[in-house]
Structure 1
Amino acid sequence: MKLGPVKLKPVVAAFLVVWLTVLSLGSTAVMAADSTYPSNTLGLNVKAAILIDADTGQVLYAVNADEPRPPASMTKMMTEYMVLEAISKKEITWDTQVTVSEEAASTPADGSQVYLAQGDVHTVKELYTAMAVASANDATIALASFLGGSEQGFVAKMNEKAKEMGLKTAVFTSATGLLDTTLMSASDVAKMARMILQQHPEFLDYSSIPSQKFRARDTHPMINNDWMLANNKGIPAFKPYVYDGVDGMKTGYLGAAGYCFTGTVKQGDTRLISVVMGTRSKGARFTETAKLYNYAFQSLEKKTAVQAKSVVKTVESVKLSKGVSTSVPVVTESDMSLMVKKGATPDVTLVASKVPASGELVAPVKQGQKLGTVTYRYKDAETGATMDKTVNLIAAEDVDKASWWRLMFRGIKDFIVSLFNGIVNLF
């Protein structure tokens, strides 16, 4: 069941104003770590940051993006991903009943929680919503211990999954991110976020909820810490931070991490994913993120470097056995589009191609059938980052299987040509 935005009543809106005021009391607190920031052209006050295109993974901007740092509650995105994966594999459902463990009920009270008691029973959906909206540590541990036998059992699975996903810097020591021994680079956080959106887009149905009650009897709703959500545009207290098109993903804070935020925004046909780590305050993580989004939407545009259904000069056809033709023409299945400076033309280089060797492809072949791949490389003049994009090659037309009569005469012809060439080579 898809959850839509919750319509806030006046009393809830009033509560939000009070809540934000309380939060703002600490919004100017500088983190204990060194407050100097790496130099960068956008003037970002961050310890690390990255901005990528969600469709291609292209790096659009980066500051210290490969340094492992504590991600704080952004860690919960991996927990959320693994719950969604378990649902997709039908290991659990949204309606699966979870009995709250002692481990979850004893979660320290100094962080966000929904005050679960041991033995409470809630559905996966209820606990997941609490994790996604309120960043509830107890709900997160309840799900982790349910799926892994214990939080640490689940953490072991998190580290296994990180290796599968190719997250080179990721070291998980908790399901919540409460321990500063959990480490990830901004680059890996963005990579993880992109995989979530590609494989489980329903993630956004939950991360975009601005507020919702956990229990019907609760006096106040859970409040999403993502102040940038477009769904917050009607709330005056969030007006300085709301950004059109933002619908996720996850905030985080630890003394050792500073204020962090993984965000995503979609405008038109462009979706971006951003990560900022080590900002000074609750609000700063959003204002620094806005600088990244403004840079992309104001300075960059999407251009097509390789057209769909285009012929690759070095791989125009593939050899074919037992067909009415001895080869089949191939074209690109899809295009290759890139974000570049407005007015610029993306320059890409063909670096690899892979097609069946002679004799491997046998007729018949259908138009649109995948027959190989080509890989292009793009180097961003601004960031210096390179990106490889592999595009499928497909058959441009049908090629039927040849009759035995045609194949016999073709064989005779090939034999005569081979014999003649052999004789010529004697002289």
Structure 2
Amino acid sequence: MNKKTVKQSLSILLISFMAVTPFQQTAHGKSTLDIQADAAILVEADTGKIVYSENEDKPLGIASMTKMMTEYLVLEAIDTGKIKWDQTYKVSDKVYQLANAPGLSNVPLRADEEYTVRELYDAMVIKSGNGAAIALSEVVAGSEGEFVKMMNAKAKELGFEHYHFVNSSGLSNYDMLGMYPKGTREDDENMVSAEDMATLAYYLIHDFPEVLETSSLSSKVFRPGTSEELVMKNTNGLLKGKSYYYKGADGLKTGTTPFAGSTFTGTAERNGVRYISVILDAKDETGQPSSAERFIQSRELLDYGFKEFKSVTFNLDNIETKKDHTLPVPNGKDQTVSIKIDNPISLRLSDEEKDKVKTALELDDMKVDEDGSLEAPIEKGEKIGQLVIEPGEDAEYIFDQKKAPYRLDVYAAESVKKASWFVRSARSIQDFFGNLL
């Protein structure tokens, strides 16, 4: 993102301190965390800032975490009016066979029965129903093959770098009873890097926060009061009432196949702060895939974020020592103007990196004269510049556009009229003789 800077400014005030940031260490070197997995990442959900990562760029099997992309496309189709929650779907032969195949995670769907999009969505998100995911792909795109094209196109649009979607459910194609999507191969697998999965989680939460209303449910009854009534139990072990309960956890998706091992994309929020964690192919102490370890290690990642980083607020106090929040206006009737911002910004920082943040006030070059001085007249509420906060050169993000500084608009808190020619002339004469003394 190109940033416009002011070449000449009366009040560009910088605060710059040297410190060592932990991000390089946690992202590319040794860390204090003991994560036993093929890949892992922890991201601050508000900003996309990478707090910790291991092997984050390597595409690996994601199993049923694939359904997160299916969720995104379904919610997008709902949002645009392409489909509706109460819209019904008649079960196809393919969906019937796969929804009732032994050994696969499913909510059984009956042949030729009709189910609403909402019922299928709940079955997919809570119970990780593979048949339900495929059914939704047919609702949105007409066929799973066309839906897979949409999945890969959306991944590219969201900025993924290491991804390969081959079906809507996360099953290994060889488990699809020969009915894998057109355009894919029987030996194909859904493969995405940990960083790209965190990116998907980021956009899923930000674009469609309602996803958490469903993913946070420990259980829900499917078709209550009918012969198909079934208690769907969520596979997320961090939710309330589960074995690895974690305070604030409300999503997102597990995944397990022989190819991918045990995987998990988790998220939790505490006191308005949210983190996203991804674990790919969690291992136990013997090096074997472990369903429990994906939750244990996710807890460790989330604890690291919540305990080792603090919320630091940045506002106009960061660029002034007197804290009077005023700027000089040499040609104004009043020669100072009070300034304000709408809301401060809060960043999650370690004790070391908070001292590396650079803060500056950049005045709008249309509001200053050739000497860089702020010019009157100025109207109350008029934007006169921006407060710029740079977290530090070593900070890394899950997407490039977030590497730019944070910018808060700065406004005049009062009006300042331009001084008359006589007053300005008198000031100039006074300044001239003052300089001679």
**TM-score of the two chains, using structure 1 as the length reference:** 0.71
What letter corresponds to residue 66 of structure 2 in structure 1?
A: T
Mapped partners of 1:157, 1:327: distance in 2? 56
Kept in 2, the 8 Å contact 1:354–1:373? The answer is: yes
Mapped partners of 1:92, 1:70: distance in 2? 30
Partner of 1:295: 304
For residues 368 and 89 of structure 1, do their structure 2 counterparts lie closer, same or farther at Cα, with a shift above 3 Å needed?
farther
Equivalent positions of 1:402-413 (< 5 A) are none
What letter corresponds to residue 314 of structure 2 in structure 1?
A: Q
Residue 178 (structure 2) pairs with residue 170 (structure 1):
no
Superposed displacement of residue 251, structure 1? 0.1
Residue 237 (structure 2) pairs with residue 221 (structure 1):
no
- What is the RMSD of the two structures over their aligned residues, measured on CA atoms? 4.0
Residue 366 (structure 2) pairs with residue 358 (structure 1):
yes
Mapped partners of 2:215, 2:343: distance in 1? 31
The one of 360, 378, 391 equivalent to 2:407 is 391
Kept in 2, the 8 Å contact 1:352–1:375? The answer is: yes
Mapped partners of 1:171, 1:318: distance in 2? 57
Kept in 2, the 8 Å contact 1:328–1:397? The answer is: yes
Partner of 2:258: 255
Mapped partners of 2:337, 2:362: distance in 1? 15
Superposed displacement of residue 266, structure 1? 1.7
Aligned residue for 1:56, secondary structure, equals coil
For residues 145 and 243 of structure 1, do their structure 2 counterparts lie closer, same or farther at Cα, with a shift above 3 Å needed?
same
What letter corresponds to residue 374 of structure 1 in structure 2?
A: V
Aligned residue for 2:290, secondary structure, equals coil
Partner of 2:113: 120
Mapped partners of 1:199, 1:271: distance in 2? 15
Which sections of structure 1, spanning at least 5 residues, go unmatched? 1-37, 233-237, 418-427
Which sections of structure 2, spanning at least 5 residues, go unmatched? 1-28, 173-187, 283-288, 321-325, 369-374, 429-437
Aligned residue for 1:106, secondary structure, equals helix
What letter corresponds to residue 308 of structure 1 in structure 2?
A: N
Kept in 2, the 8 Å contact 1:101–1:119? The answer is: yes
Partner of 2:220: 212
Superposed displacement of residue 374, structure 1? 3.1
The one of 86, 91, 96 equivalent to 1:95 is 86
What letter corresponds to residue 183 of structure 1 in structure 2?
A: M
Kept in 1, the 8 Å contact 2:91–2:110? The answer is: yes
Superposed displacement of residue 369, structure 1? 5.2
Equivalent positions of 1:20-419 (< 5 A) are 41-107=32-98, 109=101, 110-179=103-172, 181-216=189-224, 217-218=227-228, 220-230=230-240, 232=241, 238-239=242-243, 241-279=244-282, 280-298=289-307, 300-304=308-312, 307-310=314-317, 332-341=341-350, 343-344=351-352, 346-350=354-358, 357-358=365-366, 367=381, 374=388, 376-379=390-393, 388-397=404-413, 399=415
Structure showing greater relative contact order (alpha-carbon pairs closer than 8 Å, 6 or more residues apart): 2
What letter corresponds to residue 166 of structure 2 in structure 1?
A: T
For residues 269 and 359 of structure 1, do their structure 2 counterparts lie closer, same or farther at Cα, with a shift above 3 Å needed?
closer
Superposed displacement of residue 143, structure 1? 0.9
Mapped partners of 1:254, 1:185: distance in 2? 16
Partner of 1:20: none
Mapped partners of 1:351, 1:273: distance in 2? 27
Kept in 2, the 8 Å contact 1:324–1:399? The answer is: no
For residues 251 and 354 of structure 1, do their structure 2 counterparts lie closer, same or farther at Cα, with a shift above 3 Å needed?
farther
Kept in 2, the 8 Å contact 1:318–1:330? The answer is: no
For residues 112 and 369 of structure 1, do their structure 2 counterparts lie closer, same or farther at Cα, with a shift above 3 Å needed?
farther
What letter corresponds to residue 202 of structure 1 in structure 2?
A: E
How many residues end up aligned between the 2 structures? 360
* CA deviation profile, 1:100-151 (whole Å, cap 9, x unmatched): 3333223272421122234321111111100110111111111111111111
For residues 122 and 285 of structure 1, do their structure 2 counterparts lie closer, same or farther at Cα, with a shift above 3 Å needed?
same
Superposed displacement of residue 368, structure 1? 7.2
Partner of 2:21: none
Aligned residue for 1:346, secondary structure, equals helix
**TM-score of the two chains, using structure 2 as the length reference:** 0.70
* CA deviation profile, 1:222-256 (whole Å, cap 9, x unmatched): 111112102x1xxxxx43x1112211110001222
Superposed displacement of residue 73, structure 1? 0.8
What letter corresponds to residue 268 of structure 1 in structure 2?
A: N
Percent identity reads 34
Partner of 2:11: none
Kept in 2, the 8 Å contact 1:307–1:334? The answer is: no
For residues 99 and 345 of structure 1, do their structure 2 counterparts lie closer, same or farther at Cα, with a shift above 3 Å needed?
same
For residues 275 and 324 of structure 1, do their structure 2 counterparts lie closer, same or farther at Cα, with a shift above 3 Å needed?
farther
What letter corresponds to residue 338 of structure 1 in structure 2?
A: L
Superposed displacement of residue 365, structure 1? 5.6
What letter corresponds to residue 176 of structure 1 in structure 2?
A: S
For residues 389 and 127 of structure 1, do their structure 2 counterparts lie closer, same or farther at Cα, with a shift above 3 Å needed?
farther
Mapped partners of 1:39, 1:307: distance in 2? 30
Kept in 1, the 8 Å contact 2:62–2:190? The answer is: yes
Deviates further, 103-112 or 152-161: 103-112
Aligned residue for 1:347, secondary structure, equals helix
What letter corresponds to residue 57 of structure 2 in structure 1?
A: D
For residues 164 and 353 of structure 1, do their structure 2 counterparts lie closer, same or farther at Cα, with a shift above 3 Å needed?
farther
Mapped partners of 1:71, 1:366: distance in 2? 54
Kept in 2, the 8 Å contact 1:53–1:59? The answer is: yes
Mapped partners of 1:131, 1:54: distance in 2? 23
For residues 91 and 310 of structure 1, do their structure 2 counterparts lie closer, same or farther at Cα, with a shift above 3 Å needed?
farther
Superposed displacement of residue 258, structure 1? 0.9
Kept in 2, the 8 Å contact 1:310–1:331? The answer is: no
